[in-house]
Structure 1
Amino acid sequence: MAGHSKWSNIKHRKARVDEKRGRVFTRLGKEIYVAARRGGADPDANPALRTAITRAREVNMPMDNINRNIAKATGELDGVDYEEVNYEGYAAGGVAVLLVTLTDNRNRTAPEIRHLFSRHEGNLGEAGCVAWMFDRRGLLIIPRTGLAMDPEELMLLLIEEGAEDVREEEDTIEVVTAPEELEKIKGILTEHGIKCDSAEVTMVPNSMVPVTDKTTAERILNLLNALEDHDDVQNVYANFDIPDEIIQQLEEA
């Protein structure tokens, strides 16, 4: 779990740069499109769409953009037809990597993803080779700085309200929920004046691969960052456990 949250935090910091480039708008636009196409245009009846819209508003995506993507998904406007394709493989050190992509041309996406794995000393595998190592869960990451209530009281409250697990890390508190309980737990936090760094339905690894070699860690993070930067990649999941001091050294380099 710790490795997953570290990658989530790295992505969260990186997203601040992505926002300036508009990349996050593109990704969230695709997420809104797919959610609306699968579950309908009404956020009240479509939890996936409601979550996607909330995430879009948190990064100040204009409502015109949001509504335009919904209209494309429902056929009211012409638009590109995206399909979800998952890719699985291994990074350096045997770390499992699971990708979720939204693409309008899988014949273009597949070789580009394969090239990125190869370039960073990883291997793209067959479908199913690592998916079994991940479980679909809701994950909320709460910053400890400025927390509006005592951490122990907060943890007890969330467990009583149905969270599957709550644990303290150095700078954050992680809350794991069933996917359908994510919005409920987020609402409880909001009621108590507590904000999250991130709140999403994600794939949580059920086992971790310890990585203590700095060179191997660098190769892993370089691959994950390259995959994150690919236009068709929506989410990247991995089961590394790299010590904080190595991550800090690599971020400062």
Structure 2
Amino acid sequence: MATLGRGLRRHLRAPPVTICSQCSLRMFASSSVLLSGHNKWSKIRHDKAAADAKKNAVRNQFTKTITLYSRLYGPDPTQNPQLATTLAAAKKAGVPKAVIETAVARGQGRSTEGATLENVTFEAIFPPSVALIVEAETDNRLRLLQDLNLIVKKNKAMATASRFYFTRLGRVVFQKDEAGEVGVDQIMDTALEAGAEDLEDGEDGTIVAWTQPNQTTQVCEAVGGTFGLKVLSSDIIWSPNEDTKVKLDWGSELKSLAELLAKLQDNPDVQAVYSNISRGNMTDEEWASLADNIDV
């Protein structure tokens, strides 16, 4: 001990520090402040995630519509009034210029650099029986498949055959006639002659025509040209077979499914994601977290 400094000797002789019961109570009570801050930050993150999801949904809808009008009527907005109107609305909604240019190019089957795009169909299963089909267009097939495999693996699903859960169909959605003079009965003969196999009233007064996959363009041109109805969408979709649909109830596993669907839709090469899920016991918000990322 003779070699120890004076300050260190005083420290070693100092009595142990004690904490009174009142101090202990005050220290314990302060934890509620930390919890309150944590809850506030969680709410901020939740609100931001919801806002981002809404923004992405709007952006995805614009890109699909721009791609459609570019494919149907050409990429030049000066010669394509429907494309011009959609481009103006997309810019007003804050869709980035690069996203718009990519969508226009996709309508012509190429990338913004001029490379030819290849169609890719990716299949997966989310255990035990949720079937997924992803439709994509890419100029780098190997990179895309690697990206999709990684997304699926990280979100508790597996890449495996699932198309036997679905039927391939063409679907055309026409905007409703504001004057109320044109409906399913008025377009039926023209649509059937052009290749439609079934017609039905859609949401908000729209008209939906179902076709074989190779008949969508003919139906668009025949009905749209004859009756002046705007084409809202024209897709070749994977429609789930009725006997393979899975009714889901909300739980921890469905949170993982919702995250998987959102990440698939966020991939810039992905054009559509199809699934055989149907609504079970869940709130509107819970169902929306799934349905908003499925193309049905």
TM-score scaled by structure 1? 0.60
Q: Confirm whether residue 132 of structure 1 aligns to residue 158 of structure 2.
A: no
* 8 A contact 2:216–2:235 mirrored in 1: yes
The one of 160, 171, 180 aligned to 2:214: 180
Q: Confirm whether residue 236 of structure 1 aligns to residue 273 of structure 2.
A: yes
Cα deviation for residue 163 of structure 1 reads: 1.7
Cα deviation for residue 104 of structure 1 reads: 3.8
Cα deviation for residue 88 of structure 1 reads: 0.7
1:149–1:211 distance in 2 versus 1, CA, 3 Å: farther
Count of matched residue positions in the alignment of Structure 1 and Structure 2 = 214
Higher relative contact order (CA 8 A, sep 6+): 1
Q: Secondary structure at the residue paired with 2:196?
A: coil
1:57–1:100 distance in 2 versus 1, CA, 3 Å: farther
Cα deviation for residue 99 of structure 1 reads: 1.6
1:163–1:82 distance in 2 versus 1, CA, 3 Å: closer
Given residue 149 of structure 2, which amino acid in structure 1 is its aligned partner?
R
Given residue 217 of structure 2, which amino acid in structure 1 is its aligned partner?
E
Cα deviation for residue 89 of structure 1 reads: 0.6
| CA–CA separation in structure 1 for the residues paired with 2:237 and 2:131 | 15
| CA–CA separation in structure 2 for the residues paired with 1:202 and 1:73 | 18
Cα deviation for residue 238 of structure 1 reads: 1.9
Q: Confirm whether residue 200 of structure 1 aligns to residue 235 of structure 2.
A: yes
| CA–CA separation in structure 2 for the residues paired with 1:244 and 1:60 | 39
Q: Confirm whether residue 212 of structure 1 aligns to residue 280 of structure 2.
A: no
1:170–1:238 distance in 2 versus 1, CA, 3 Å: same
Query: What is the CA deviation profile of residues 200-238 of structure 1, one whole-angstrom value per residue up to 9, with x for unaligned ones?
Result: 223333344132312355544432221111122233222
Using the TM superposition, name which of 209-218 and 86-95 deviates more: 209-218
| CA–CA separation in structure 1 for the residues paired with 2:282 and 2:176 | 19
Q: Confirm whether residue 17 of structure 1 aligns to residue 17 of structure 2.
A: no
| CA–CA separation in structure 1 for the residues paired with 2:264 and 2:233 | 20
Q: Secondary structure at the residue paired with 1:85?
A: strand
Given residue 224 of structure 1, which amino acid in structure 2 is its aligned partner?
L
Query: What is the CA deviation profile of residues 132-166 of structure 1, one whole-angstrom value per residue up to 9, with x for unaligned ones?
Result: 33333220234568473464524744664342122
Q: Secondary structure at the residue paired with 1:231?
A: coil
- Mind listing any 5+ residue stretches in structure 1 that lack a counterpart? 1-10, 33-48
| CA–CA separation in structure 2 for the residues paired with 1:18 and 1:132 | 27
The one of 87, 95, 111 aligned to 1:60: 87
1:193–1:249 distance in 2 versus 1, CA, 3 Å: farther
* 8 A contact 1:28–1:52 mirrored in 2: no
Given residue 58 of structure 2, which amino acid in structure 1 is its aligned partner?
R
The one of 119, 133, 141 aligned to 2:173: 141
* 8 A contact 1:139–1:175 mirrored in 2: yes
* 8 A contact 1:85–1:103 mirrored in 2: yes
| CA–CA separation in structure 2 for the residues paired with 1:211 and 1:57 | 41
Given residue 273 of structure 2, which amino acid in structure 1 is its aligned partner?
V
| CA–CA separation in structure 2 for the residues paired with 1:227 and 1:252 | 13
| CA–CA separation in structure 2 for the residues paired with 1:73 and 1:156 | 31
* Percent of matched pairs sharing the same residue: 20
| CA–CA separation in structure 1 for the residues paired with 2:198 and 2:129 | 27
1:41-120 to structure 2, matched below 5 A, reads 49-50=71-72, 59-60=86-87, 69=105, 79-80=114-115, 82-91=117-126, 94-120=129-155
1:183–1:224 distance in 2 versus 1, CA, 3 Å: same
1:13–1:197 distance in 2 versus 1, CA, 3 Å: farther
Query: What is the CA deviation profile of residues 88-128 of structure 1, one whole-angstrom value per residue up to 9, with x for unaligned ones?
Result: 11135522111223334444333321222233332211xxx
Given residue 98 of structure 1, which amino acid in structure 2 is its aligned partner?
I
Q: Secondary structure at the residue paired with 1:201?
A: strand
The one of 198, 211, 216 aligned to 1:165: 198
| CA–CA separation in structure 1 for the residues paired with 2:84 and 2:128 | 38
Given residue 213 of structure 1, which amino acid in structure 2 is its aligned partner?
D
1:228–1:123 distance in 2 versus 1, CA, 3 Å: same
